[in-house]
Structure 1
């Protein structure tokens, strides 16, 4: 690939084999280079192919105005998620996360730290992403000698979550609201205090996250199987309360999202609900024995 335009030491514009314009990022990829030089392949860590003029404008402006160090930090975060969790994030997260990191550090140097109103939800509904946010926060504090509060880990986690969803950050709030409402139905139906740190609840939340994404973005490609009425009857009779609660959730989802849960989806909800209530009951028995 031949350099067509240099954006900064870490970014250049070139074309792919089809002649379409692409943006290439890499640590020191343009250092000592000029237009017409060959791009060193061993330094390339990300290639963008903007699909619209607006995307191209935002991408070029971000790269031009942002210190390459923030792209490198964003890359470290993304690489670690991919290596340790097998998570592939949408390309957009490289830009949004990089821009966020640069802006946050700029504020931090002035002693301006923002509070995160969704911190509790992020910690409890997205604990895995939050852990990587904490790791990234420590990275920023060490790199720039700052003292970011945990709120910043939450903000970074939101960008990771949005990258997983493959959509913009507003989808994060929608998914959190969905999880919150479903959890509320379970709490009120059984009149229990759910242990948000428990393994059963964590698995329930993971199921809800994937289901929400499927329901909103892939419901027209419905691939879930459907259980026979005989199998469903067995599930219903094994834990009637969990099944009835799942039907309450089905009613809520139908009314709110215009999505009709299949027998299989109701079954999975009932199984998760049963695990949560069983675990809660066991803990209550232990407390009574004490």
Structure 2
């Protein structure tokens, strides 16, 4: 059995900050865990529904500042949701999700109760890029509805999926959103230049978005796809429209990401674009 922890601060009836013998400060969440607790009280950590560390002092301060703005009955629900997400993802979540998702869900409740619709322009891209996170986000929305009767709009599913992805990869939401916006921009340029509309539910769209996503990842990691000079010359001759468009897309990526792009990317992009024109 774990040694008792010492209460440092009661944040509300359901959350306390405690001194842990091994981990220094921990945050304990549980229904009524903070009721009548005073600084210096010893409690058994097993009575908490959720115990987590916020090693980053800034993250911890954000969490402490956030809690007074979160309805107390939502805190145990947030804990249930985070436990559920961790189990379903089958891997640990980065600690910043405690702050980010609690903040997002609290505001989502406010929007839903006040009928403030929150659209998500990247919903199709998010579903395509992060199918597992998207599915779990759908389940989270169902859990919230079952426990509170509050129905979140579909736009929220995409945002919750992004928070889950961010917590697993430890990428910032800003970086993920920047890449999603870039992919959306590239798809619009493709549709405009090729005069096509790509069905967002089609396998072609799925392949295209996945390819753009992998290309962005390669640009960031400096990974190359090998010398394709012969193929490059052949595609330039055979498919000039798609070849020129692929370079236009590469220039947009270079500008937005502020990185050089391996010239061989043009070959693979041209092949993808040519496939679209044949549909």
- TM-score by length of structure 1 reads 0.71
Aligned to 2:62: 58
Q: CA deviation at 1:168?
A: 4.5
Aligned-partner Cα distance in 2 for 1:77–1:232: 50
1:20-51 CA distances to partner (integer Å, 9 max, x unpaired)?
633244545947987333422x9675522332
1:190-209 alignment runs, 5 A limit: 190-209=194-213
Q: CA deviation at 1:255?
A: 3.4
Aligned to 1:13: 18
In structure 1, the gaps of 5 or more residues are: 282-290
Query: Is 1:245 matched with 2:248?
Result: no
Runs of 4 or more above 6 Å deviation: 31-34
Query: Is 1:39 matched with 2:45?
Result: yes
Contact 1:200 1:276 (C-alpha < 8 Å) held by counterparts: yes
Aligned to 1:284: none
Q: Give the 3 Å change call, closer, same or farther, for CA 107–252 of structure 1 in structure 2.
A: closer
Aligned to 1:126: 126
Aligned-partner Cα distance in 1 for 2:262–2:53: 39
Q: Give the 3 Å change call, closer, same or farther, for CA 245–22 of structure 1 in structure 2.
A: farther
Aligned to 2:149: 145
Q: Give the 3 Å change call, closer, same or farther, for CA 277–93 of structure 1 in structure 2.
A: farther
Aligned to 2:231: 234
1:272-283 alignment runs, 5 A limit: 272-278=272-278, 281=279
Question: How many aligned positions are there?
Answer: 261
In structure 2, the gaps of 5 or more residues are: none
Equivalent of residue 71 in structure 1, options 78, 99, 110? 78
Secondary structure of 1:14's match? strand
**RMSD (CA atoms):** 3.5
1:184-233 CA distances to partner (integer Å, 9 max, x unpaired)?
22223322111221123213223434544665xxx3xx4413512xx342
